[in-house]
Structure 1
């Protein structure tokens, strides 16, 4: 169950640049999405209160930025531009998580993220 929830969190963060706002987690507000991400990471990584607040703040800012970019772009991005933007966001997320998490938590988070990516890619191959 935890892996499924974590998969949902990462799918939201990785696919938010390429998906329509209405299709993504049912029109949740940035605050709801940040709470969701913070709760799931807390359950998976046993975050302390300070870490929970940092994760929540990070995902709130990130979600608001993504929504703003989507409105500005309104579907005008090429596939290559979208891929570059997603890679940049993933790199920024990685750097931020290094600052917030302990080494042990970061390793566990990274392993989980790789599993989610693999599962997501496998699912996309089956659909195509």
Structure 2
């Protein structure tokens, strides 16, 4: 009886974990460009204490970027090589960097760069653990 209960608990916990992971990934993939832009501008506002003008500029930049990426995904679904995707992402990162330099103050920009690098490192560490 104890073994059966233990087995049920293990199955339920594994099932719950896998469903939670699916929801997180699905939510990100199913977000509209407006939701993505709102999320990014809200996160940056909290992190960098943006004024209203900066908030609007950041939001419009991320909205435009999200719409472009969504369009690109639809047009090229699975047709791009790894190298092409890497090149596109590098170009997007450079454009983002240039735009943030225009919008943010020097202090905000430095803080944003540090945060961006930390997120990138965390993402890479997470990918290494999964592989």
Shorter-chain TM band: 0.7 to 0.9
Compute the RMSD of aligned alpha carbons: 1.2
Q: How does 1:1-128 map to 2 (within 5 A)?
A: 23=26, 25-128=28-131
Q: State the Cα distance separating 1:23 from its structure 2 match.
A: 3.8
Structure 1 runs (4+) greater than 2 angstroms displaced? none
SS at match of 1:25: helix
- TM normalised by structure 2 equals 0.79
Larger Rg computed on CA atoms? 2
How many pairs does the alignment contain? 107
Q: Distance in 2 between matches of 1:74 and 1:126?
A: 27
Structure 1 unaligned spans of 5+: 1-21
Match for residue 3 of structure 1? none
- Bigger relative contact order, structure 1 or 2 (CA pairs below 8 A, ≥6 apart): 1
- SS of 1:75's partner is coil
TM-score, with structure 1 as normaliser: 0.80
